[in-house]
Structure 1
């Protein structure tokens, strides 16, 4: 009998060899206690968190927590149903109203996760005979949305406006086309040239969907994302995002001004056939979103943190994924798997948690430590972080 798990044998062997060296499993960290948006206890040690997507530090906001507790008391722990059945409570509508106000759009639709938002929107909008044109480095949820639908998939080189135009020019003029872009790319923290890309998409009659999962909260005058900062809001048809990053809870959404948008509630399978978010979750999300409308000081502090950490790591001699600070994500590039794991372990032992990333999450041959800053990181914490990187880097031999 064929072992259906045999295709994973190489990965199993690689993981066993890694753990046999005595290092901790980078993908099985347990937070014993989380004490703030920026600190936790891991194996009994105070640890600075530099590997979460808690960009705006909303997870411990008193108003957000109070809203969740109130909804839990008044509506119970869950809906036990889909949004199109018994799963739409007043809180879900209030959350969608908050999104419409935040983005200034006519329509908003809340999904149970950000992954499902991409899965549902992309697979439903573009069908058989249509084309989806996407960046080669797109998130897994975007690729899975493409594969769930029946559209033709066309990839273009990462962040290449020229290659995007070349691909679009080859497609039938009368075919339906959806260009899918991301504001911030989550591995290197680089941003898309949305102004140029959206102009090219519109030139060839394509609709545009922008994923602002990592841009919402601190890009643009109102914190709406890179598309707002690029000045292309009027030409973007759909904006997809998540509550699990700057909003500080869990869930996903899409906002749009398309006049037929609401029909998606009847035809989008990952929306129709999934239980809706618990009342406490949508209550925390709505409260957080409304507070993010007035978070200019948080955004300024986050950008200060990002620029300081980026420059500090460069000054220490580390190679980074971008030449300057483009977002709240900073990628420390390392030469191989062994060095990356040793550096990750050394940082953890010093009291700093970062994300370790390797293929297939990254391009082939690319290994890195991903740092995700938070608006609640203090100046002193950023100083501690730089000191830990210096100490670990020297111990491992990454820097002189």
Structure 2
């Protein structure tokens, strides 16, 4: 790992922690001497500079201070934490919601507490690292099925026999690397026939999919068959924190069993206040979702027309698959020099072991900014074609 890191540090910029020197708006920033369009954030609804969110956070900062200095189990459950849980329960039309310090902690806290050494977890091979780590925390037996392959899930469940009836199935609404969606209808149909419990991580799909923005399960009309929804506040809601929502009558028992809930400091009052304002914006301003998808389709079509290898379907996440890690770093640096920042994802974190750059669009991007992103990729098309030919 040390050698691989050293090899990728030969360029002009640090690919393992880009220093963004100034944030100018939800869509623009400065990296060194380069003013760049921020096309590598998860700020899907563009709410990080929303006046209502900022005012709510500032007021909470004045009224309640900088932090709770304690966990949810101890002194870190303020009235605002409880209010946000109630508002999220209403939004998701679920019996109860638990708020965690981050989305990562939410998955650790829920999956790690639910699935112990005697249990079986079936998870999509491309699930997020937090889901894999949660399974390790609980010690469950882990069975991976091929990415977005419902038939492979069914084969593996049938081999379990009666044990399939109590297995936990883990998938995501939108996958963070390729921007594709889980085949949730097919998975629900398998669950109805063979049993099991279904948890859907809607981190990248809340605020993005569904008539009301509740995610993929709402988009496909299968919310009643999803036992637990997890997600984050660090994407469409523009802050930090995480949640789990469920109809299960014993959901609140997790507050007594979830180590990340019990032993991690709770989200700051300012973050909670900002999320509450962002949730209101998500619910009352559907035009944000409409602008997001208009921008996503514009970028997806533009990069596809240039001949890049991109994700399998239009999405606010638009990956561009490249060749070697070194080629990926060079491509990423050249984009920054042309005024566009995207995420560089090295092979250790990518499906298939290839470097990729990941674009993420926002409702705050203008059509002109999307076109400038496309033109920056067009300027690098020849080197990219050479890299892909050798891959």
Identify the TM-score tier after normalising by the shorter chain.
over 0.9
Listed as ranges, the matches of 1:191-270 within 5 Å are 191-270=181-260
Note if contact 1:123-1:149 (Cα within 8 Å) is conserved in structure 2: yes
Query: By percentage of residues, which structure has more helix?
Result: 2
Which residue in 2 is equivalent to 1:376? 364
Listed as ranges, the matches of 1:107-256 within 5 Å are 107-174=96-163, 176-256=166-246
- Among candidates 267, 271, 278, match of residue 261 of structure 2: 271
Determine if the alignment matches structure 1 residue 60 to structure 2 residue 49: yes
TM superposition score normalised by structure 2 = 0.96
- Secondary structure, aligned partner of 1:319: coil
Structure 2 CA distance, aligned partners of 1:251 and 1:398?
Answer: 42
Gaps of 5+ in 2: none
Structure 1 CA distance, aligned partners of 2:318 and 2:361?
Answer: 8
Which residue in 1 is equivalent to 2:381? 393
**1:84 CA displacement:** 1.4
1:170-218 CA-partner distances (Å, limit 9, x unpaired): 1141562110110111001011110111221232220110000000002
**1:150 CA displacement:** 2.3
**1:388 CA displacement:** 0.9
Which residue in 1 is equivalent to 2:7? 17
Question: How many equivalent pairs are there?
Answer: 387
Note if contact 2:145-2:153 (Cα within 8 Å) is conserved in structure 1: yes
- Secondary structure, aligned partner of 2:297: helix
Structure 2 CA distance, aligned partners of 1:361 and 1:263?
Answer: 34
Listed as ranges, the matches of 1:306-325 within 5 Å are 306-322=296-312, 324-325=313-314
Determine if the alignment matches structure 1 residue 338 to structure 2 residue 326: yes
Structure 2 CA distance, aligned partners of 1:199 and 1:294?
Answer: 33
Structure 1 CA distance, aligned partners of 2:183 and 2:232?
Answer: 21
Structure 2 CA distance, aligned partners of 1:127 and 1:234?
Answer: 25
Structure 1 CA distance, aligned partners of 2:82 and 2:172?
Answer: 26
Which residue in 2 is equivalent to 1:295? 285
- Secondary structure, aligned partner of 2:70: coil
- Secondary structure, aligned partner of 1:360: helix
Structure 2 CA distance, aligned partners of 1:351 and 1:96?
Answer: 40
**1:395 CA displacement:** 5.7
Q: Calculate the aligned-residue CA RMSD, in Å.
A: 1.5
**1:98 CA displacement:** 1.8
Which residue in 2 is equivalent to 1:6? none
**1:397 CA displacement:** 5.5
Structure 2 CA distance, aligned partners of 1:302 and 1:309?
Answer: 11
- Among candidates 75, 80, 91, match of residue 91 of structure 1: 80
Which residue in 2 is equivalent to 1:103? 92
C-alpha spacing 1:398/1:285, structure 2 compared with 1 (3 Å)? farther
- Secondary structure, aligned partner of 1:173: helix
Note if contact 2:322-2:384 (Cα within 8 Å) is conserved in structure 1: no
Structure 1 CA distance, aligned partners of 2:208 and 2:285?
Answer: 8
Structure 1 CA distance, aligned partners of 2:87 and 2:46?
Answer: 19
Note if contact 1:319-1:332 (Cα within 8 Å) is conserved in structure 2: yes
1:99-152 CA-partner distances (Å, limit 9, x unpaired): 112211110100001001001111111223211110011110000000111221
